[in-house]
Amino acid sequence: MAGKLNITMLLGGPGAEREVSLRSGAAVAKALRSLGHQVQVLDPRDGSWTLPAGTDVVFLALHGTYGEDGTVQRRLDELGALYTGCDAESSRIAFDKVLTKKRCLEAKVPTAKFLVVNSEKTPWPENWQPPLVVKPVRQGSSVGLQFVERVEDWQKALAEALKFDSEVLVEEKIAGRETTVGILAGQPLPIVEVRPKTGSYDYKNKYTAGCTEYFCPADFDPAMTKRIQSAALGAFQAVGGRDYARVDVMVRASGEPVVLEVNTLPGMTETSLLPKAAAAAGLDYAQLCQRMVDLALKRNGRKH
Minimum mean pLDDT among 48-57, 133-142, 145-154, 251-260: which range? Answer: 133-142
Residues 6+ apart with CB under 8 A from 28: 9, 59, 61, 268, 289
pLDDT for res 141? 56
Please give the CATH architecture assigned to the domain spanning 114-172.
2-Layer Sandwich (3.30)
- Per DSSP bridges, beta strands 6-10 and 57-60 are parallel
Q: In the chain, pLDDT over 90 holds for what percent of residues?
A: 81
Stretch 182-193: mean pLDDT: 97
Fold for domain 6-85? Rossmann fold (3.40.50)
256 is catalytic: no
Domain locations in the chain as residue ranges: 6-85, 93-110+175-264, 114-172
- Greatest pairwise CA separation for the chain in angstroms: 63
What is the C-alpha separation between 61 and 20, in angstroms, rounded?
9
Q: Which of 23, 66, 267, 285 is catalytic?
A: 267
17 is catalytic: yes
User: Are 120 and 90 spatial neighbours (Cβ–Cβ below 8 Å)?
Assistant: no
pLDDT confidence tier of residue 173, bands split at 50, 70 and 90: very high
Closest CA to 149 of 130, 167, 165: 130
255 is catalytic: no
Stretch 57-83: mean pLDDT: 94
141 is catalytic: yes
Q: Which of 69, 96, 178, 248 is catalytic?
A: 248
Closest CA to 185 of 299, 96, 72: 299
Of residues 184 and 271, more confidently modeled: 184
Q: Which of 66, 83, 207, 244 is catalytic?
A: 207
Q: Which of 141, 144, 205, 285 is catalytic?
A: 141
Of residues 195 and 277, more confidently modeled: 277
pLDDT for res 15? 81
263 is catalytic: yes
> What is the 8-class DSSP label of residue 134?
E
Q: Interior CA angle at 165 toward 198 and 139, to 5°?
A: 55
pLDDT confidence tier of residue 1, bands split at 50, 70 and 90: very low
Per-residue model confidence as pLDDT tens digits over 4-37: 999 999 999 988 789 989 999 999 999 999 999 9
pLDDT confidence tier of residue 208, bands split at 50, 70 and 90: low
pLDDT for res 104? 97
pTM of the model: 0.91
Average confidence score pLDDT of the chain: 92
Q: Which of 91, 205, 263, 272 is catalytic?
A: 263
Closest CA to 84 of 237, 233, 265: 265
Q: Which of 15, 17, 66, 241 is catalytic?
A: 17
Of residues 215 and 207, more confidently modeled: 215
Multiple choice CATH, 93-110+175-264, 3.40.47.10, 3.30.470.20, 3.30.930.10, 3.40.190.10 = 3.30.470.20
Q: Which of 56, 69, 87, 261 is catalytic?
A: 261
pLDDT for res 2? 47
- DSSP alpha helix (H) spans, 111-170: 154-161
Per-residue model confidence as pLDDT tens digits over 229-268: 999 999 999 999 999 999 999 999 999 999 999 999 999 9
Stretch 181-191: mean pLDDT: 97
221 pLDDT above the threshold of 80: yes
Of residues 301 and 81, more confidently modeled: 81
- β strands within the chain, DSSP E: 6-10, 38-42, 57-60, 114-117, 132-136, 146-148, 168-172, 176-184, 187-188, 192-196, 212-215, 244-252, 257-263
For 227, left (φ over 0), alpha (ψ -120 to 50), or beta?
Answer: alpha
User: Are 59 and 28 spatial neighbours (Cβ–Cβ below 8 Å)?
Assistant: yes
Buried b (16+ CB within 10 A) or exposed e, 219-233: ebeeeebebbbebbb
267 is catalytic: yes
What is the C-alpha separation between 248 and 258, in angstroms, rounded?
9
> What is the 8-class DSSP label of residue 151?
G
- The alpha carbons of the chain give a radius of gyration, in whole angstroms, of 19
Per-residue model confidence as pLDDT tens digits over 81-140: 999 999 999 999 999 999 999 999 999 999 999 999 999 999 999 999 999 999 998 876
77 is catalytic: no
65 pLDDT above the threshold of 90: no
261 is catalytic: yes
